[in-house]
A and B are shown apart, each in its own frame.
Chain A
Amino acid sequence: MLIAPENGLVKESMITAYILTILKPGSADKAIQEMRKIDHVEKISVVAGEYDIVVRVQVDNLEELLDVTNRIQMIDGVEKTTTQIIEKEIAL
């Protein structure tokens, strides 16, 4: 039976992950502009601490995650990224 997407077929296999990035000093503004253009990026937080930018992404499969990670790593000024895949989440 075919069901229209809004009538109950829920995408259960969504993958959500945090990509923690470390940037070269002074490259934050440009890097953010680039990140805002990437599909599947849900949230970009500029943070003060060990990392510089925390990116939250939502993708359909691991291949897409690889693609997003790759695109973030290609951005000028991004020095290092660490990907944390969310296994379970509670939120307000």
Chain B
Amino acid sequence: MIIRKKYLFYVLALSSAVANAFASGVDAVVSSLFIHDPWAFGVACFLVGVIIALIFSIILSIRFKDKSLGSKAIDPSFNHLRFIRREEIKYQLLSAFGNAILTIGYYILLSILADPSVVIPFTQMVILYLVLMESITEKDMPTLVEVQSALIVTFGAILGSISFSGDINLLSLAIVFLVINPGWMISSIYQRKLKLLKINGKPNDSLNIRFWNVLFAFLITSGIVLIYDISSGANHLLNGIIYAFRFFNWISIMGIGTFFSLVLYIRALGIGKASVTQAVKSTAIIFSIPVSIILAYLNIIPSFSTDPTMVAIRGIGIILMILGIASYALTLVKAYIFIEMKPGYPILDIMRKLWDIRGVTRVAAVAGKYDFIIKIRTRTLVKGYEKIIRKLNEIEGIKKYKWESVLREWEKL
């Protein structure tokens, strides 16, 4: 199927946000009604998560008319559940480590603060970590528009989810900024790397990535909890395993939500940058409002604040988030440049030089009327145009080039 890539990206990221809002609603139910020990809850979540991921990956591996169900419904690159590849292990370990760190950070937060909802909004700052990290790892530096949009979404997310019911202390903020957010960042960045990896010449699929990730994260988390248990004489690991089976129904509902949320998130990561994907996914805060209203109505969580100040602050936050995401979506400019060369310049050298220009996402040496076709991506047309053209003019041997701005684009996925 050939579709507009831009639409697919937003559909995936928003669906992930909806699934996430649903899962965190169930999360609130389980932690307020059944499991009060955050460490054991974490172990139980991961254990059930592994079982859920295994069951769904097997169901989605069932073949129907020559194609697996998963490739039809979730990710076209998915064939069947497979064993982890050697080239994946390093990234999976790092990503699962990030996942385990952020989960454990969250439990510590829960154990020192009865109501972590005061500091949780600050986990949205992870978008800024991702912007910073991408300026180092990805080829293009964030442009002003990207930094601006990231800031708008982040502040919107903080305002949209803020609550004044507890108190903020330095330790809890330190955990958010030094443990949870970096864990999340590492996890996202390596999941993106995994998704961009080619397995036998075909793009990697998000279902296998998620399955192996949750398995590794379960093992790492269990290891850390076990060490904590031994040093403190507690029984969190064992309790977690017991809880996993005693409350399997509830936790598995949450696990299904989380599984789909993350599978869709990983697939979206394969299309867009981690920071933009994360920004769109943070709309989970908006989708969680109806979930919270239902839960409050059922008296499971404390009722929603109707204080006008709070409503205004949250309203402003939500408007900011939508604005920020819209500006991400509307400011991306893509173009092709067709290049003709003078004879006598080595192709590989020129390719390298073209590739080094900031904003160039693809360089193809071609046979035909032109010598190179390059694809560029920029956030601001005037500035990007000027910078790229100036660099192009510095390369010796170029006879002629043609800039063709992309107006719309369809892609097979």
Which A32-91 residues sit within 8 Å CB-CB of chain B?
32, 36, 41-51, 54, 82-91
Nearest CB of chain B from residue A91's CB, rounded to whole Å: 4
Q: Does B361 make an interface contact (CB < 8 A)?
A: yes
Q: Does A8 make an interface contact (CB < 8 A)?
A: yes
Nearest residue (CB) in A for B4 is A44
Given A6-B200, A87-B366, A90-B362, does the pair A43, B402 have CB atoms closer than 8 Å?
A: no
Given A6-B200, A47-B405, A48-B405, does the pair A89, B411 have CB atoms closer than 8 Å?
A: no
A6, A44, A82, A83: the one within 8 Å of B409 (CB): A44
Complex contact B362–A91 (CB within 8 A): yes
Q: Does A10 make an interface contact (CB < 8 A)?
A: yes
A17 vs B219: C-alpha distance in the bound complex, in angstroms? 45
Complex contact B410–A36 (CB within 8 A): yes
A/B interface sample: 18 pairs, CB < 8 A? A6-B199, A6-B200, A42-B412, A43-B410, A43-B411, A49-B403, A50-B402, A50-B404, A54-B406, A84-B366, A84-B367, A85-B368, A86-B365, A86-B366, A88-B364, A89-B363, A90-B362, A91-B363
Interface string of B364-401 (1 = CB under 8 A from A): 11111110010000000000000000000000000000
Q: Does B347 make an interface contact (CB < 8 A)?
A: yes
Given A10-B201, A90-B351, does the pair A49, B404 have CB atoms closer than 8 Å?
A: yes
Which B186-245 residues sit within 8 Å CB-CB of chain A?
199-201
Nearest residue (CB) in A for B409 is A45
Going nearest first, the 8 A-B pairs with the smallest beta carbon separation are: A49-B404, A84-B368, A84-B366, A47-B404, A91-B362, A44-B410, A46-B408, A10-B201
Residues on the A chain within 8 Å of B336, using CB? 45, 47, 54
A83 vs B405: C-alpha distance in the bound complex, in angstroms? 19
A38 vs B127: C-alpha distance in the bound complex, in angstroms? 39
Interface string of A6-44 (1 = CB under 8 A from B): 111111001011101000000000001000100001111
Nearest residue (CB) in A for B348 is A88
Which of B138, B338, B361 gathers most chain A CB within 10 Å?
B338
Residues on the A chain within 8 Å of B406, using CB? 45-47, 54
Q: Does B2 make an interface contact (CB < 8 A)?
A: yes
Name B's interface SS.
Answer: strand
With A6-B200, A90-B351 given, name 8 new contacts (CB 8 A): A10-B200, A11-B201, A18-B373, A44-B409, A83-B368, A89-B362, A90-B355, A92-B362
Q: Does B154 make an interface contact (CB < 8 A)?
A: no
Residues on the A chain within 8 Å of B335, using CB? 47
Residues on the A chain within 8 Å of B298, using CB? none
A10, A32, A49, A92: the one within 8 Å of B405 (CB): A49
Residues on the A chain within 8 Å of B199, using CB? 6
Q: How many A-B residue pairs have CB under 8 A?
A: 105
Complex contact A85–B404 (CB within 8 A): no
Chain A interface extent, by class: 35 or more
A7 vs B85: C-alpha distance in the bound complex, in angstroms? 11
A88 vs B407: C-alpha distance in the bound complex, in angstroms? 26
A92 vs B408: C-alpha distance in the bound complex, in angstroms? 20
Given A10-B201, A41-B2, A88-B351, does the pair A47, B407 have CB atoms closer than 8 Å?
A: yes
A48 vs B362: C-alpha distance in the bound complex, in angstroms? 19
Residues on the A chain within 8 Å of B361, using CB? 91-92
Residues on the B chain within 8 Å of A83, using CB? 368
A49 vs B361: C-alpha distance in the bound complex, in angstroms? 20
Q: Does B139 make an interface contact (CB < 8 A)?
A: yes
Nearest CB of chain B from residue A30's CB, rounded to whole Å: 14
Nearest CB of chain A from residue B134's CB, rounded to whole Å: 12
A9 vs B367: C-alpha distance in the bound complex, in angstroms? 27
Complex contact A85–B412 (CB within 8 A): no
Which B299-356 residues sit within 8 Å CB-CB of chain A?
334-336, 338, 347-348, 351, 355
Nearest CB of chain B from residue A5's CB, rounded to whole Å: 8
Nearest CB of chain A from residue B47's CB, rounded to whole Å: 30
A78 vs B304: C-alpha distance in the bound complex, in angstroms? 60
Nearest residue (CB) in A for B403 is A49
A47 vs B409: C-alpha distance in the bound complex, in angstroms? 9
Interface string of B105-136 (1 = CB under 8 A from A): 00000000000000000000000000000000
Residues on the B chain within 8 Å of A84, using CB? 364, 366-370, 373
Nearest CB of chain B from residue A22's CB, rounded to whole Å: 12
Q: Does B252 make an interface contact (CB < 8 A)?
A: no
Interface string of B66-97 (1 = CB under 8 A from A): 00000000000001001000000000000000
